Amino acid sequence: MTDFEPKIIGFLCNWCSYAGADLAGVSRIQYPTNLRIIRVMCSGRVDPALPLGFLAEGADGVMITGCHIGDCHYIDGNLHAKRKYGLLERLVAKAGLEPGRIMLEWVSASEGQRFADIVTGFTDQVRELGPNPAVTDPCVKLNLMAAKAAAEEYRLRALVGKEEKLVTEGNVYGEEMTQEEFDRIMEEAVETEFTRNKIRLILSVKPMSVKGLSAETGIDSRIILDHVVALRQRGWVDLHEVQGNSPVYRAMEVQ
Amino acid sequence: MSEEPRIGVFVCHCGINIGGYVDVPDVVEYATGLPDVAYAEPNLYMCSSDGLQKIQEAIKKYELNRVVVASCTPRTHEPLFQSACEEAGLNKYVFEMANIRDQCSWVHMHEPEKATQKAKSLVRMAVAKARLLVPEEEPEIDIRPTGLVIGGGVSGLTSALSLADQGFKVHLVEKEDRLGGTLLKLDTLFSSNVKASEVINPLIKRVKASTDVTVHLDSRVADVKGFIGSFDVGIETRGEPETLSVGTIIVATGADYLSPEGLYGYGQVDNVVTQMELEQLFKEGGRLDGVKTLVMIQCAGSRNEERPYCSRVCCTEAIKNAIKLVKENPKRDVYILYRDLQTYGIEFSMMEYDAKKSGVKLVMYDKERLPEVTGEERGPMVRVYSPLLDEELTIETDMVVLSAPIIPNEDNEALSKHLKVPLNSDRFFMEAHVKLRPLDFATDGIYVCGTAHSPKEVAESVSQARGAASRAGIPMAKGRLKTAAITSVVDEAKCSGCGTCIELCVYNAITKNERGLAQVTSAVCKGCGVCGASCPERAITMRHFTNEELEAQGLAALKEA
Amino acid sequence: MMDKPVIVIGGGVAGIQASLDLADRGLKVHLVEKSPSIGGVMAQLDKTFPTMDCSICILAPKMIECFRHPNITIHTLSQVKEVTGKEGNFDVKVLKEPRSVDESKCTGCGLCSEKCPTKVSDDWQKGLSERKAIYILFPQAVPLIANIDREHCLYFQKGICQVCSKVCPAGAIDYEQQPEEISLNVSSIIVATGFQELNPSELGEYGYGRYKDVITSMEFERLVCASGPTGGHLNRPSDGKHADRIAFVQCVGSRTHKKGYPYCSSVCCMYATKEAVLIKEHDPGSEVTIFYIDLKVFGQGFQQFVDRAKQHWGVEYVRGKPGEIRRNPLTKDLAIWYEDTMTGNVYEKEMDLVVLCTTMIARPGNRELAGVLGLKLDEWGFFKSKDPVRSPIETDVPGVFVCGCCHGPRDIPESVAEASATAACAAEVSRRCAS
Amino acid sequence: MRYALYLGCTIQSEQFGYEASVRETLPRLGIELEDMEGVSCCGFPALSSVSKVGWHYLSARNLAIAEDMGLAVLPLCNGCHLSFIETKHFLEKDPELKNIINMNLEKEGLNYRGDIRIVHLLEALHDEVGTQKISEKVVKPLEGIKLASHPGCHAIRPSDLQKVDDAENPQKLDDLIRALGAETFDYPEKIDCCGSQLAVTSGRVTLRIAGEKLQAVKSYGFDGLVTTCPFCFKMYDGRQRAIKGALKDASLDLPVFYYTQLLGLALGSDPKSLGLQMNQSPVGDLVERILEG
């Protein structure tokens, strides 16, 4: 474990965090070499599907940093970053990956030292966790791919996109929703979308029956059946053949 | 760009800043082996004129169509290298930087091997992105050289005149049947005690005389279409609709004064008036002769739970009038009951001392124990507890003057909806940034000044009005506006018209087109990418920071050298 | 572009804003700054009230914009020495002090200062830390170019050392540089020379200069700033112990007819509130008290900011100006003596750190500049505008405009708005001259 | 250096030690003292609080005598010094009052011009002789002795009159103490009032004010307190026993000196010639220590 060097990817917003990272350099503040920085204009631009994809591909940790709340160059982009990160956290949990592998922090352009401290801390934390299991364990990888797929689906994106407004200003009818209510709906949606995408991925490898899927995923076959029905309605899954008297399903190519 | 990518990689030593810790030749050699890299070379100082020339030579010699520079931070140097590429005939958006100084050599000075490894992977990431880069256009839009000023008070008039003096046509829309606004109601103005009429009348005269300013009285803004450069503003003049085609809009709608019904006996006890009414009495003259004792009460309706903000001008206004009253008749007893004297800055501080010298009695009261006004035979009777004296004073007065706060116009709500610009919690117009963009709205081409934004005295409004005219004049002076290329673009085939992006965009850059689908006005888009990251259908692409490009960067990072 | 350029004197936030407004509309601008970098006082602030924005974070992009802008020429270490002519046609002579570093070669790598053997108290950090004799004013300096302080440089003093020229990878060190005179012909002149804080040792009050733990608000800004000498940790200068009990004293040198100045500096109540909230954010357990005469909450959102400081952060506000700050000679602890004028009670409270919010005063340089430009000063050395109500930013000299704190204390948004206003004036002038 | 020596009432009626030490030491520093004929009370504080004219008349009269002598006047007492300074200040601002006073002075052939130089003992020693010269003349340096400096209010306030030393941060007496080889440092109560002005009206308060300062001075480890004002000296020295009683603090005993007494010891004068035997605070041991050197 000692010689393990985690691969860490960091999304930095151009205006505060990236400048903070530069300041760490200008001030010659040293930190571990593991971080690989991707510059984005705003932390709110970080689509949860991106980090999930990197984790699936074996990144040991992903950090996202933006301007402090209130300092956002785009007024409230970092608020949306925060909402999206919420979804990311849920999906990482669903995929059974340690929450410590992702991080969202605010770093201003004047916080060179803070940036270095954050990177150092996160690197140590990930080093502690050890290598990303997705590399060796195909189940975890499958989960992460399912999570990524879920993050790319309409339902979760629409929910997260509306979250800020729903819980601060309310819906079109002006009904404000408490964070708790929203979280409940979100959690349910995440569970569903994650499972359905997982089923679809499994079926895309090889056709299976509901029973088989249940065995593969450890989920009650009745729940699997509901999902399969829904997936068929979406046109993502279709009947492949009937073995004995149990139908076998396959994933459809989705354009 | 259809043809095969041919990437040139240029690695900077930056003296010893990079070269001292990162094995630059090794990085160059490594870069040469990367996919689609046609050429790579080191240089002592990439940013030196010699370095830039080398890039341009290489572009020609090796027919490069992508350029990667591995050196310092793009925040300071990207534009330099981009223009070098442009001079060599490349579009500036096929350029990418790898920050191997500020974010590598300088922060890993004690681990040269690892620093070199990191530098390689930063270059690998940049190359991965560069392969996918495409040329971007910076579309230009026309800016109509005509400004719209909403509001014909001192701010609006000043803005309009400045715009005219800058050489633009101006439409001035005023809801009343005459120009002048609040100043018409005032007698004198602090700090110089100049007659309000001497300030406002010359402005009105100049505006009326100006051939560049078209005045629309009795008019209101009914609806607003378009964006910076080409706003189509529908106004109604006595029911008559008209559409004004303008390039920029200045909001100078001013504010109102609270009528403090029920406060301190206002409306119930005789001779309890507001500062505005006192100004009116001054204008009419005479009626104050009988007034021997007069009490002014500050914060009458402000700095409380209902209206938390301080109205800024009342203390100085009261002091101005108090001095006037005692100088008129030194036997007069004039009290100002205040909480915190807001006599800020030099002139107002001096007025405060003048008041004390002239014998104006300043009595501080406590918010927890407000003064009381009751109607008596002789006139209003004031009871006030002074914490400093620790006793309650009872003052028999001839008149009580309430300093009622400036409050936002009730039609701010409507106008803010038409212009799609926000109001703050006090219902005044809210600027783009409290500190550095006090006169702009987040929406390009719309500006604010004067008391429409918050309570202000005349001089501050005049400065702001001139300032707003400068801000509005900038795009109009340029005539054409080069808009950023790093913007969102909607793939209509994918868009379902859910409107999520429209709600998310603080710049109102996204609207629904006639088919109900989202469309980005790139002139207005600031390129943050929030919409793209949120689009349920993933129908929005972020130019120059596409998902594919970011994905490629990340996956390249995960590959080991 | 046929139009003549405009000269902006002073590279603080006001000067920067005026320059950008003019340059963006296509006018050439000469931005003259007497220090080695633009940025002014705002660059030294940690956060800004009432939004708690990080000051340098929001200013730095504008500084860089100035630097990159094709229409703006920045003249650092420069001062205006002579002006002739009139509106539309001023001839201006600018004197540029030698940097002793070739601006075209220096890459701002900072190696020179790293190796320079001479340590000097760092004025930019308010003397709370040291810099070298060759130095870059601050990390975000624009231009990011080193500068030799000849007063302290061993080469200029003793003719020895020359380490910087030996280590400079770019060969940018140039000991031979001479003062340079630049002649400009401009259509109008914008004055934005800003202010400075009163040095409270002039007052004798409150033991400033005698007691290390009595500091000014500007010193506090550096002390609490992440890029400051303590990396943002609030440690007492005397012994480095963390400060848990902090007092802010308003109106030090202000609103008085005895020693000091009779006027109110407009911003102290609010920046003290900001600084108090900063302390509470870092360390909610600390006790912070603000002593004031009248709480100036006249700006947009100020009252709400103070309410938040009181209710949410538990900052204590005491109406009363402390009589005296005493230090126990054995424990070195400070005690502040004051009367709470709302109750009439007198207290003595121990404090770890006392921050004096001192008067914003005019820059002494104004006198010379006023002479050069033919402008009037008020009795405290601030530039006088033509008319306090009608033309607050114009002066008695047509074509010369003033903005920001050089004509009296004001906050950042006011300075920025005024800066834009002067830009409008300058634009109007160049139009008049064109037609 | 020659001065017209103005002793005032308090010194001549009870503070003989001060006069003695001054007459013993100043000449040894090259300061010649000339006595003033026919001087009266300076009018402070008794008269000044009831009759402005009477007070300024008395002060002006004394100053006129000094002007006649063609010398700068050296009032030993802080009270007299303040009285003179204020009279000079007010008569400059009020020529009418000056005339009235001069009309009265004429009767005894006196005239107050107003160009008189008024010099405080601290100024004479610190600014005119100089600490350098003093320390050169020291034969018995007061080494290892910690002395608290008490300049006294009237020597430094009100600050906007031309006063002896900085009202917020007086240092001259401290410098003079150091010049004798003794040690001193700032302490919070340094510029606190001795309370003597309240003696007449509210004695107990006076004792408390003076007592708390003495306790503080002791707590900082000072060996003694030094002043040049007879009023303050009276409080701390003469009434120290009363203070002990009032504060019920038996341990409260602190040697109190006139600066000139310590100056004398340092210059090697005989303690008797410095009137030290007349000090009522326990100075004995400390004097011993100094003499033994």
pLDDT digits (tens, 9 = 90+) for B68-116: 999 999 987 898 899 899 989 999 999 999 999 999 999 999 999 999 9
Question: Each residue of C6-51: pLDDT tens digit?
Answer: 999 999 999 999 999 999 999 999 999 999 999 999 999 988 988 7
Touch between A and B (at least 3 CB pairs under 8 Å): yes
Q: Residue B366 has what pLDDT?
A: 95
Q: Match domain B257-404 to its CATH number in 3.40.640.10, 3.40.50.720, 3.30.1340.30, 3.50.50.60.
A: 3.50.50.60
pTM greater than the 0.90 cutoff: no
pLDDT band per the 50, 70, 90 thresholds, residue B433 = confident
* CA–CA dist B27, B124 (Å, integer): 10
Residues of C in contact with B353 (CB under 8 A): 257, 262
Q: Locate D148 and state its tokens.
A: 């608290």
Q: Residue B2 has what pLDDT?
A: 53
Task: Please report how many Cα atoms fall inside a 13 Å half-sphere around the Cα of residue D180, on the Cβ side.
Answer: 31
DSSP B182: G
Q: Which of residues 251-270 of C touch D (CB under 8 A)?
A: 258-259
pLDDT at B51 over 90: no
Of residues A26, A27, A110, nearest to C57 (C-beta): A110
pLDDT at B524 over 60: yes
Q: Residue B17 has what pLDDT?
A: 84
Q: Can you identify the CATH homologous superfamily of domain B146-254+409-481?
A: FAD/NAD(P)-binding domain (3.50.50.60)
| Contact status, residue A106 vs residue A202, Cβ threshold 8 Å | no
| Contact status, residue A15 vs residue C53, Cβ threshold 8 Å | no
| Contact status, residue D147 vs residue D225, Cβ threshold 8 Å | yes
Question: B414: Cβ–Cβ under 8 A, 6 or more apart, which residues?
Answer: none
* CA–CA dist A72, A13 (Å, integer): 9
Better-scored residue on pLDDT, B53 or C373: C373
Other C-beta atoms lying within 10 Å of the C-beta of residue B489: 16
Touch between A and D (at least 3 CB pairs under 8 Å): no
Query: Which whole number is the average pLDDT over B176-183?
Result: 97
Q: Backbone phi, then psi, for D202, in 5-degree steps? A: -140, 90
- C387: three-class secondary structure by DSSP: strand
Residues of B in contact with C419 (CB under 8 A): 467
* CA–CA dist B363, A187 (Å, integer): 60
Q: Which residue type does C91 have? A: D
Q: Which residue type does C78 have? A: S
D282: left (phi over 0), alpha (psi -120 to 50) or beta: beta
Residues of B in contact with A46 (CB under 8 A): 533
pLDDT at A1 over 50: no
The full length of chain B comes to 561
The answer to whether C326 contacts D188, with C-beta atoms less than 8 Å apart, is yes
Query: Which whole number is the average pLDDT over A119-144?
Result: 95
Q: Residue B561 has what pLDDT?
A: 52
Please give the residue of chain A at the shortest CA–CA distance from C226: A111
- D29: three-class secondary structure by DSSP: helix
pLDDT at B540 over 70: yes
The answer to whether A112 contacts C52, with C-beta atoms less than 8 Å apart, is no
* CA–CA dist A228, A238 (Å, integer): 9
Residues of C in contact with D160 (CB under 8 A): 258
Q: Does C142 contact A at CB distance below 8 Å?
A: no
Best of B463, B464, B471, B526 to mutate (most C CBs within 10 Å, chain C): B463
DSSP B162: H
Looking at the complex, report in whole angstroms how far the Cα of residue A150 sits from the nearest Cα belonging to chain B.
11
Residues of A in contact with B77 (CB under 8 A): none
Percent of chain B at pLDDT exceeding 90: 86
| Contact status, residue C252 vs residue C356, Cβ threshold 8 Å | yes
* CA–CA dist B120, B102 (Å, integer): 15
Question: C383: Cβ–Cβ under 8 A, 6 or more apart, which residues?
Answer: C191, C366, C370, C375, C376, C377, C395, C402, C406, C407
Chains contacting A (3+ CB pairs below 8 angstroms): B, C
Percent of chain A at pLDDT exceeding 70: 98
First-to-final CA distance of chain C: 14
Question: Each residue of C251-286: pLDDT tens digit?
Answer: 999 999 888 999 999 999 999 999 999 999 888 999
Of residues D160, D167, D186, nearest to C329 (C-beta): D186
Of residues A9, A31, A40, nearest to B557 (C-beta): A9
* CA–CA dist D158, D202 (Å, integer): 23
Nearest to B498 by CA among A170, A235, A83, A161: A161
* CA–CA dist B418, C137 (Å, integer): 47
| Contact status, residue B492 vs residue B517, Cβ threshold 8 Å | yes
Q: Which of residues 355-394 of B touch C (CB under 8 A)?
A: 366, 387-388, 390
Mean pLDDT by 10 residues, chain D (293 residues): 95 95 97 96 87 95 96 96 95 96 95 96 96 97 96 89 87 97 95 89 90 96 96 95 93 96 96 95 95 85
Looking at the complex, report in whole angstroms how far the Cα of residue A165 sits from the nearest Cα belonging to chain C.
22
pLDDT at C348 over 50: yes
Looking at the complex, report in whole angstroms how far the Cα of residue C365 sits from the nearest Cα belonging to chain A.
31
Q: Backbone phi, then psi, for B374, in 5-degree steps? A: -125, 150
Domain range annotation of chain B = 7-136, 146-254+409-481, 257-404, 488-543
Question: Each residue of B340-382: pLDDT tens digit?
Answer: 999 999 999 999 999 999 999 999 999 999 999 999 988 999 9
* Residue C386: burial class (beta carbons within 10 Å; 0-12, 13-18, 19+): middle
The answer to whether C258 contacts D160, with C-beta atoms less than 8 Å apart, is yes
Please give the residue of chain C at the shortest CA–CA distance from B440: C417
Q: Which residue type does D229 have? A: C
Best of B403, B436, B480 to mutate (most C CBs within 10 Å, chain C): B436
Q: Residue B46 has what pLDDT?
A: 86
Q: Residue A2 has what pLDDT?
A: 56
Please give the residue of chain C at the shortest CA–CA distance from B198: C390
The answer to whether C327 contacts D186, with C-beta atoms less than 8 Å apart, is yes
Looking at the complex, report in whole angstroms how far the Cα of residue C358 sits from the nearest Cα belonging to chain A.
26
First-to-final CA distance of chain A: 43
* CA–CA dist D142, D222 (Å, integer): 13
Question: Each residue of C240-252: pLDDT tens digit?
Answer: 999 999 999 999 9
Query: Which whole number is the average pLDDT over B485-508?
Result: 93
Fold of the CATH domain B7-136:
Rossmann fold (3.40.50)
Looking at the complex, report in whole angstroms how far the Cα of residue A102 sits from the nearest Cα belonging to chain B.
15
Chains contacting D (3+ CB pairs below 8 angstroms): C
Domains of chain C by range and CATH? Answer: 6-97+179-195+362-434 (3.50.50.60), 111-167 (no CATH), 199-359 (3.50.50.60)
Interface of D with C (CB under 8 A): 159-160, 166-169, 185-189, 220-221
* B510-512/B518-520 β-pairing: antiparallel
Helix (H) or strand (E) holding B95: strand B95-99
DSSP C3: S
ipTM above 0.90, yes or no: no
DSSP C108: -
Q: Residue A254 has what pLDDT?
A: 63
Q: Which of residues 116-145 of C touch B (CB under 8 A)?
A: 144
Q: Does C62 contact B at CB distance below 8 Å?
A: yes
Nearest to C223 by CA among C265, C282, C269, C266: C282
Measured in whole angstroms, how far is the alpha carbon of residue C176 from the centre of its chain? 31
| Contact status, residue B183 vs residue B200, Cβ threshold 8 Å | yes
Do the domains spanning B257-404 and B488-543 agree at the CATH topology level? no
Fold of the CATH domain D2-106:
Glutathione S-transferase Yfyf (Class Pi); Chain A, domain 2 (1.20.1050)
Best of A110, A111, A113 to mutate (most C CBs within 10 Å, chain C): A110
pLDDT band per the 50, 70, 90 thresholds, residue C2 = low
| Contact status, residue D15 vs residue D230, Cβ threshold 8 Å | yes
Residues of B in contact with C13 (CB under 8 A): 436
The answer to whether B529 contacts A45, with C-beta atoms less than 8 Å apart, is yes
pLDDT band per the 50, 70, 90 thresholds, residue A178 = confident
**CATH architecture type of domain D131-292:** 3-Layer(aba) Sandwich (3.40)
**Neighbouring-strand partners of residue A242:** A247
Residues of D in contact with C205 (CB under 8 A): 168
* CA–CA dist C152, C164 (Å, integer): 14
Q: Does B479 contact C at CB distance below 8 Å?
A: no
Nearest to B415 by CA among B430, B425, B436, B405: B430
Question: Each residue of B24-49: pLDDT tens digit?
Answer: 999 999 999 999 999 999 998 888 77
* CA–CA dist C59, C43 (Å, integer): 7
- C289: three-class secondary structure by DSSP: strand
Domain range annotation of chain D = 2-106, 131-292
Residues of B in contact with C414 (CB under 8 A): 438, 460, 463
| Contact status, residue B210 vs residue B187, Cβ threshold 8 Å | no
Question: Each residue of C418-433: pLDDT tens digit?
Answer: 999 999 999 999 999 8
Residues of B in contact with A87 (CB under 8 A): none
3-state secondary structure B138-205: CCEEECCCEEEEECCCHHHHHHHHHHHHCCCEEEEECCCCCCCHHHHHCCEECCCCEEHHHHHHHHHH
Token pair 């999304």 is at which residue?
A: A11
Distances (CA, A) of A95 to A55, A223, A237: 10, 18, 22
* C345-351/C334-340 β-pairing: antiparallel
CATH class of B488-543: alpha beta
Looking at the complex, report in whole angstroms how far the Cα of residue C17 sits from the nearest Cα belonging to chain A.
18
Q: Residue C107 has what pLDDT?
A: 84
Other C-beta atoms lying within 10 Å of the C-beta of residue C424: 32
Please give the residue of chain B at the shortest CA–CA distance from C405: B345
Question: Each residue of B285-306: pLDDT tens digit?
Answer: 867 988 999 999 999 999 999 9
Tell me the DSSP string of A41-104: S-GGG--THHHHHHHHTT-SEEEEEEPPTTT-TTSSHHHHHHHHHHHHHHHHHHTT--GGGEEE
| Contact status, residue D129 vs residue D29, Cβ threshold 8 Å | yes
Q: Which of residues 492-551 of B touch A (CB under 8 A)?
A: 496, 498, 500-501, 503-504, 506, 526-530, 532-538, 542, 545, 547, 550-551
Q: Residue A172 has what pLDDT?
A: 66
* CA–CA dist B140, B146 (Å, integer): 18
The answer to whether C330 contacts D221, with C-beta atoms less than 8 Å apart, is yes
* Residue A90: burial class (beta carbons within 10 Å; 0-12, 13-18, 19+): buried
Q: Backbone phi, then psi, for D4, in 5-degree steps? A: -80, 120
Q: Which of residues 327-346 of C touch D (CB under 8 A)?
A: 327-330, 335
The whole-chain average pLDDT of chain A stands at 91
- B59: three-class secondary structure by DSSP: helix
